[in-house]
Amino acid sequence: MHGLMQAWPLTLDKILDHAKTWHGGVEIVSRSVEGPIVRTTYSEVHERAKRVSNALLELGVEAGDRVATLAWNSARHLETWYGIMGIGAVCHTLNPRLFPEQLCYIVNHAEDRIIFTDLTFLPMLLEHRDKMPTVERFIVLTDEGHVGDTLPGALAYETLIENASSDIPWGGFDENTAAGLCYTSGTTGNPKGVLYSHRSNFIQTLITLGADVLSLRATDVVLPIVPMFHANAWGLAFSAPAVGAKLVMPGPKLDGASVHELIETEGVTFSAAVPTVWQMLLNHLRRTNGKLTRLQRVVIGGAAVPEAIVRAFRDDYGVEVTHSWGMTETSPLGTLATPNPAIAAMSPDDRLRYQLKQGRAPIGIELALVDDDENDLPHDGATFGRLKIRGPCIAGEYYRGEGGRVLDARGFFDTGDVATLDEHGFMQITDRAKDVIKSGGEWISSIEIENIAAGHPKSELAAVIGVAHPKWDERPVLLVKLKDGETATRDEFLQFLDGKIAKWWTPDDVVFVDDIPLGATGKIDKKLLRERIIRSPQSSSP
């Protein structure tokens, strides 16, 4: 027997319809690539997104076609998203931080027909356009006066939509229709495509709005620093319109001064970004004696958050930090470190131990911790195992079947992370499986050492990698990028770690480096670090 409720497909066009109907006058503020701050509203974005839909139909785009965006966070980018998805086409977000060769591979693999792009990327597209044979049109997210002749044949976005009607029905298709395509960062082999459905993204939106997840409200002012090309801006391009929160889009300027300016001038209450962005903001605030007068909550993910960042936000600025974990394959939010009653009752410093973990699973997310033989492991906070996940927003396979079968016999997806789960259900990533350090048959958490070392007052960035050892198989080495003008010794950092980690975890050496490379999603590129260390070992003195 089936229930007798209305059929109401969970399609993403309904989110922007809702924002227009009930929150139409709420502002969306963008720092444009051209420079000025631009203001619009949900009602205006809705109307312009419908013009995008009609323009795409006139260009021959059909349901299921892939339409790419290569752009920063802005209202125009938001319009293209909903304009593409509203007619059943697939919005394919391209990450400009990838190497051009990877971008060309992704465009060709997806068979993108059109690319919407910001001015920033025209030189790269001109150089590589011949390597993208499926692309029929480039549409530049600006007006006619700014397009110029950098990319011959490119269309100006404003001209395109000015000549298009806003009269078009959205939706009307199955909720399992593909909505978005996002490729992994390709740290091991070629990037792989994750194909989101309208249903999966809609459910993810509902999950994120929970009080124990992002807890967004109509009264919030939301600054998604995390890019829209980085796993859907962690869902904020859907969840903010879903509640009618004011959106502040940072465009291409993510330095500390620019971020601080937007936070203060627009009254931002909530923001989300990777740790490196927050470190730049904190450094700027310290240099300028800056204040955070309205900011209440920040979500930090993409990489483990150092304790020093959490303490600085909490103690110096009164801002609540929520640590999160997810990946492209999880739509993306998987866990958040929001307290349960037992943790909430702890002292601030005891509670901090749990804030530094990646947190617990909300409804709709199931986690498993297994050994190499697929046996479930205890949730004791100490036993390391492979982290697996399943749920309605988790990838069931990769686009075009890349990588073959990705689910185990129970339907769980292997995240590639090594983690622990504790008695409160809090998960903590200890390493990527490919980066794990195994010394004398036991695992060492490189991430835990990194987070502590990053809290040293002279450290700007820290990374730990494993190097071969004749007796112990591998031993950890700490790499440190010092703050400008600082000098330090190996012993300073080893003494700083003393008592904070197990003795046998202590790095065999400390190497001071000029740079610690970051990958396309802001995470430390340990593969490149290992290659550099092997290729040109450095002294442990500055």
Q: Which residues are catalytic?
A: 184, 329, 438, 443
Angle at CA of residue 380, ends 378 and 385, nearest 5°: 55
DSSP 315: I
Do residues 395 and 437 lie in contact, with contact meaning Cβ atoms separated by under 8 Å?
no
Distance of CA 359 to the CA centre of its chain: 16
User: CB atoms < 10 A from the CB of 325, how many?
Assistant: 27
Size of the chain in residues: 542
Do residues 181 and 91 lie in contact, with contact meaning Cβ atoms separated by under 8 Å?
yes
Contacts of residue 65, Cβ cutoff 8 Å, sequence gap at least 6:
89, 90, 113
- Beta bridge partner(s), residue 180: 91, 196
**Crossing angle (nearest 10°) for helices 198-208 and 236-243:** 60
Closest to 301 in 3D by CA, of 279, 275, 339: 275
Angle at CA of residue 184, ends 178 and 188, nearest 5°: 140
CA distance 298 to 243: 18
* DSSP run (H or E) holding 50: helix 42-58
Do residues 235 and 247 lie in contact, with contact meaning Cβ atoms separated by under 8 Å?
no
Q: Which amino acid is at 234?
A: W
Dihedral in degrees, nearest 10, Cα atoms 345, 348, 354, 359: 70
- The alpha-helical segments, DSSP class H, found in 194-255 are 198-208, 236-243
Closest to 295 in 3D by CA, of 308, 276, 282: 282
Helix (H, G, I), strand (E, B), or coil: what is residue 286? helix
- The alpha-helical segments, DSSP class H, found in 289-399 are 307-311, 317, 341-344, 348-355
Closest to 273 in 3D by CA, of 212, 224, 200: 224
Region of 244 on the Ramachandran plot (φ > 0 left; ψ -120 to 50 alpha; else beta): left
Count of helices and strands (H, E) across the chain: 18, 24
